[in-house]
């Protein structure tokens, strides 16, 4: 389950940034995760809840997940389309779509006191 290592890395990033800014507590962490990132969101939430208890600043922090849809562009008809798989097909012409996004994972914001 790689979601535990991801949760721990998110917490590490948040704690480092909170410490650098002189903050004493992390209230929430907002992350953006692409639909093709290969992360099970419910598992990540569970792992975060477990991992945060062993932190210094984030023991009561909330994890806010923003799901980012994968997008692609059809080379034949130039249509932009959401992609639900790495090898998506254009909804207009049925040709393969070049997937351009949706694999990302990033800490978007950290709410601290």
The CB density around residue 110, as the number of other CB atoms within 10 Å, is 23
Burial of 58: CB neighbours in 10 Å, binned 0-12, 13-18, 19+: buried
Task: From the options 1.20.210.10, 3.30.230.70, 3.30.2320.50, 1.20.140.10, give the CATH code of 3-69+102-112.
Answer: 3.30.2320.50
DSSP 69: -
Q: pLDDT tens digits, the chain, 113 residues: what are they?
A: 699 999 999 999 999 999 999 999 999 999 999 999 999 999 999 999 999 999 999 999 999 999 999 998 898 999 998 888 878 889 899 999 988 889 999 999 999 99
Tokens of 113: 């006191």
Query: Cβ of 34: how many Cβ atoms within 10 Å?
Result: 19
The predicted structure's pLDDT at residue 88: 86
Is the pTM here over 0.85, yes or no?
yes
pLDDT recorded at residue 44: 98
Contacts of 12 (CB under 8 A, 6+ apart): none
């Amino acid at each position: 389950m790689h979601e535990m290592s991801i949760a721990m890395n998110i917490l590490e990033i948040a704690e480092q940034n909170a410490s650098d800014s002189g903050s004493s507590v992390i209230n929430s962490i907002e992350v953006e995760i692409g639909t093709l990132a290969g992360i099970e969101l419910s598992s990540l939430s569970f792992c975060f809840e477990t991992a945060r208890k062993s932190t210094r600043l984030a023991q009561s922090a909330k994890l806010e997940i923003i799901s980012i849809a994968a997008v692609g562009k059809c080379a034949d008809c130039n249509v932009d389309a959401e992609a639900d798989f790495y090898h998506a097909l254009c909804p207009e012409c049925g040709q393969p779509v070049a997937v351009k996004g949706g694999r990302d994972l990033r800490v978007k914001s950290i709410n601290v006191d």
